[in-house]
Structure 1
Amino acid sequence: MDTASIVVGTCLMKCPQPEIEMREREGLLHHFEIVEGQERLKRPKCVIDRMVKEYKRPAAGQDVADPETLRPVPVLHQTIDYLYSIVTRPNSEWYHIYDYVFDRLRAVRQDIVIQDIQGLDAISLLEKIVRFYVLAVYRMGNKITPSFDPTINNQHTQECLKRLLSLYTEVDGPHSNQIEFESIYLMFNLGDTSALLHYLDLPTLIR
């Protein structure tokens, strides 16, 4: 039995069942979640295995910390890996892919924060998430579309990078990907004094 299967009181799917039922009922399914051939229907059916929990802003009367909706670490990894399968899907417009994956990764980050996931688990999850934001910059540059704003993407990149770099110092290493992400942080902050000071404080081997 895998780790996810023995976690009690948590969601073992990429999307909680109540959300699946609600979004199907209300016609709130994303294009990537719909049964093929039903895209034009007013109330299309979903493919359960394609459903991924969407991001929800905390609001009055909403319990985003409900244990039944929080995904444990193994399921979060499964979710991100599935989202990357969409990133590499042929014959899909990039702006559709970005809009969907960006939102679902934001929900993953929300689950990480609410559960206070730390240590190597947090590192491995954040490394995967940052790579998507960097890929988006490579694909889109400074081009603004209805789904992609480079400023917002940069903001999320910086938030994840700073947390990731902090974890590298908190968790005993070595960390096999640290040099890669330290480099990404420097490139995202060229000319920034605090980034330069951070670099100078790094161990000689990392520098």
Structure 2
Amino acid sequence: MAWTPLLTFALALFVGAGTPGPGIAAIVARVLGRGTQGAIAFTAGVAIGDVVWLTLAVLGVAALAHTFSGVFLAIRYAGAAYLLYLAWKMWHAPVAAPAEPMAAAPREKSWRLFLGGLSVTMGNPKVVVFYFALLPNLLDLQRVTALGYLEIVGVTLTVLALVFGSYIALAARARRLLSSARAVRRLNRATGTVMAGAAVAIATR
């Protein structure tokens, strides 16, 4: 595939992915509330969700998605429910004593984190609009070859890794600045509120 449309797509995706939305809110809130443990698995799920929607767009199944709108609606609500679950856990998360600024969070299973991130993206209307409405204006999807598809996927994963990695690094740095149990408690509840807001955004759009 020519580099010009790929570059155009990369820039559009960078702007779209970098603009705060339910996905970014979920990633940042998770890192702030739980640290970087499990962040890779969770964000990998978010990114693969993008690849799924990209693949559906390339295959031209927008009409199919409309036909089975009930299935996608169920996926959306599942993603919202997962975010609400995370919000509840963060709101009630234990905090460290002042002498121990950040308590170690219990280790979570990577596959659960991956599926959680995937469900967030699969239910995110912002992602659906990008791949089904904006993408056809950036690339000629009817002429995408197998190699061209792999190139688009490669660009997608690279851009998302850059964007998500930057947000994770910033959130981790902000988390390390906390030094009291009260600050940790406030942060947990603030991130829980952000998660709940992202869940509402997914469920109502």
TM-score by length of 2: 0.25
Q: More relative contact order in 1 or in 2 (CA 8 Å, sep 6+)? A: 2
More helix by share: 2
TM-score after normalising by structure 1: 0.24
